[in-house]
Structures are given as structure tokens and as C-alpha cells.
Amino acid sequence: MNRLFSMIFVLLMLSSCKTNNGTNDNTKDELRSTLMALKGKGILFGHQDTYAYGYYWNDVEGMSDVKRVTGDYPAVFGWELGGIEKGVKANLDTVTFDNIRKYALKAYQQGGINTFSWHPFSPINRADSWDTSTRVVEHIILGGKYHEAFKKDLDVLADFLNSITTDDGAKVPFIFRPWHEMDGTWFWWGINSCTPHDFIELFRFTVSYLRDAKGMDQMLVAYSPDRNFDSLEGYLKWYPGDEYVDVIGMDNYYDLYTDGLLDDAIAKLHIVIDYANQTGKLSALTETGYENIPDPTWYINKLGTVLNDSVVAANISYTLVWRNDPLKHFFFPYPEHPSAKYARQLLEQKNIWLLNDLVEFKKDR
């Protein structure tokens, strides 16, 4: 009888480990397993800052432009960490870090997946990420004059991400996407501002320090160059190595709104997918969109064409469109915008998943 009670107790304890999102999706390995399991079944749709603000609204409880148009939230929730390293209250897009913590926890508890980008201010002079007037990377990697300053920035970043926990203290898992679009010219870690060797050292140190020194065992890492490659060799030019990466990604705006380049976008995603499959990793269209959506049919005719390519549809885990600033710009339509009906058409397709689709999938696993 005592043995029976012991077995019942263990089973109850195991069941209590499940979060209220329908699955014990509370470690990076379980997050990876979920994303792997949905391959070929659905592509998760994501939106940056979806809880934080939207077209002519800011920080309204329960609001999201995606939900206003579709009736559901995105399945992937993107958040920005730029500014955390300076010790300020809000990120470079004016969202407070207290709110980001709250939003990320809410997304997780509702069954969604969080991904974090980071556009840091330089450890040398606190110039923003788009200031390429000073070479930074060579001075912050191991052996550089500002390496210790960079480590302090990583300490602050890690302390914040490790503070996103459930009521019982469990750390919320997420995808971290550092140093993205390194093959472009616009960031101080980009192609004109550092060598591939130094970039790889930067990426490797960032991941190793966060995982090993800061105990961030809840983190999957994404590698996401921009569209400036046409071969596997070109794609891997900046690649830090398989042990540092979990998600093989690509950011691509230009090919998806420029006439005649959709085939290029698809071909590049095939390169991404092939390498992910060779190495047993996840693949994703990690960032895309069309600012202010001047082509109302963009969602169905451009993004939809890419996502419904047979190879893409069978392999990538998610895509994410950029943010809807309250006054400046938007990448997902608001309800009155002419593109709203086309976005809704795409997101109503069986293979494009929003939050409720993901939650139901996890319940059935």
C-alpha cells in the first residue's frame, strides 16, 4: 500500500510540473521538441511587441493588432532588449523592461513562444547599434580593451532574462537572436565593421558566457543573417558553429517586397532548411515584413507564396513580422487597413498557426 501511495505521489508531482499552457514546455529542450514536432504541420506566425503597442494605441491590457484583425494572438512573441545594458527603464522602442518581463511571462503562460532580439548600445561609447563610425567588435572580444565592459553588459542582460520566471521560480524558455543581419552594412557588428573571424568570436563568447557563466539553460539561440547570400558557403561565412546555434534562420525583407525576387527568397530559405536538416536543427524565417504595407495583397501574394512553397511549408518552424509603432510605422495591418483582409486570409490557412493552434497542438501531444 505504501508503494502505491508513493507511485501516486510521484505521478501527481510530475503532473504538477505542467504549466497552464497545456504542456510541460518549461525547458529549452522541451521547447525545441515542440518546435521539431510541428514541422510539416504548421508554421507559427509571430509579431514583434504585439502586447506592447499597435497602430494608435499603447499598453492596453489584452490588446494586439494581430488579435484585432484575426481574433487570436500570434503564436510567437518578439521582444527587444536594446538599452538593457545601459541600466535604463525602457528599451530603445520605449517599452519598459518591467512590461517586457510581464508580457513575456504572459505569452508563455498563454502557451506562446518568446523570442528576444538585442540591438545593444556600444560598450565603448554607448553609440547605438546603427552607428558604424567606430569599430567595436575587435575591442570587446576576448583580449580587447573593452572586453570587461562588454561582460558587464552581458551580466545585466542575463540578470534580466533570468528574472523572467513563473510563480514557482521556473525560468521561462525562449529563443535568443543576437547579432543578427551581420551580413548587412547597418550595424556595428556588420560586414563593413568587423571581420568574420572577430564576429564569430563575438557570437561564441556571447553564447558561452550566457550559458556557462550566467546559467541560462532556458535559452535556444538563433543565427540569422540577412538575405545577402546565394550559397551555403555564403550563408555560413559568419556562422559560429553548430554547438552555439539551435535555430538556423534568415531575416529577409527586401526579397519579399521587391518585384521578381520571390524565387530568390525561396531559394535562400531552401539553403537555410537544407543546413538545418543536415545538422538536426530548427529552421525559421526569423524576421520579415513590409513597412506600412503599401501593397495590400502582400500578406497573401508575397509572404503567403513563400510560406506555401512545398519545401518551406514542410520544414520551417516559425516566421515573425516586425512591430507596429503607435505613430511611426507598422508591419501588421490594423483592422481598417486595406491589407487586413489579405492578412486574415493567410492566417486562416490550415498550415499557418496562431496562438490557439499552438496550444491545441501541445495539448494533443
What local confidence, expressed as pLDDT, does residue 68 receive? 98
pLDDT at 312 over 70: yes
pLDDT at 357 over 90: yes
**What is the overall mean pLDDT for the chain?**
94
Query: Nearest 5°: phi and psi at 47?
Result: -145, 135
Q: Is residue 1 part of a domain?
A: no
Q: How many domains does the chain have?
A: 1
pLDDT in tens, 35-67: 999 999 999 999 999 999 999 999 999 999 999
Which residues are annotated as part of the binding site?
Answer: 119, 186, 253
Q: Quick one: average pLDDT of 207-224?
A: 98
Inter-residue contact 61 to 250 (CB < 8 Å): no
pLDDT at 152 over 90: yes
Report pTM. 0.93
Q: Is residue 2 part of a domain?
A: no
Q: Which residue has the cell 513590409?
A: 290
Q: Is residue 212 part of a domain?
A: yes
Percent of the chain residues topping a pLDDT of 70:
93
CA–CA distance, 204 with 290 (Å, rounded to integer): 32
pLDDT at 7 over 80: no
181 part of the active site: yes
Residue of higher predicted confidence among 335 and 14: 335
What local confidence, expressed as pLDDT, does residue 1 receive? 42
pLDDT in tens, 174-202: 999 999 999 999 999 999 999 999 999 99
Q: Quick one: average pLDDT of 322-330?
A: 94
287 part of the active site: yes
pLDDT at 308 over 60: yes
Q: Is residue 155 part of a domain?
A: yes
Q: What string of H, E and C letters represents the secondary structure of 300-335? A: HHHHHHHHCCHHHHCCCCEEEECCCCCCCCCCCCCC
pLDDT at 13 over 50: no
Quick one: which H or E segment has residue 198? helix 196-208
Quick one: which H or E segment has residue 313? helix 310-313
DSSP state of 133: S
Q: Is residue 87 part of a domain?
A: yes
Q: Is residue 21 part of a domain?
A: no
Q: Quick one: average pLDDT of 242-265?
A: 98
What local confidence, expressed as pLDDT, does residue 365 receive? 82
CA–CA distance, 321 with 273 (Å, rounded to integer): 19
Which residues are annotated as part of the binding site for substrate?
Answer: 119, 186, 253
Q: Is residue 103 part of a domain?
A: yes
CA–CA distance, 188 with 192 (Å, rounded to integer): 8
* Beta-bridge mates of residue 177: 117
Show the domain range for 356: 34-364
What CATH number did the domain enclosing 200 receive?
3.20.20.80
Catalytic annotation, pick one of 287, 291, 348, 360 = 287
Q: Quick one: average pLDDT of 130-157?
A: 98
Q: Quick one: average pLDDT of 4-21?
A: 42
pLDDT in tens, 73-126: 999 999 999 999 999 999 999 999 999 999 999 999 999 999 999 999 999 999
What local confidence, expressed as pLDDT, does residue 26 receive? 65
Catalytic annotation, pick one of 181, 201, 336, 360 = 181
Q: Is residue 20 part of a domain?
A: no
> Per the structure block, which three cell numbers stand in for 268?
535562400
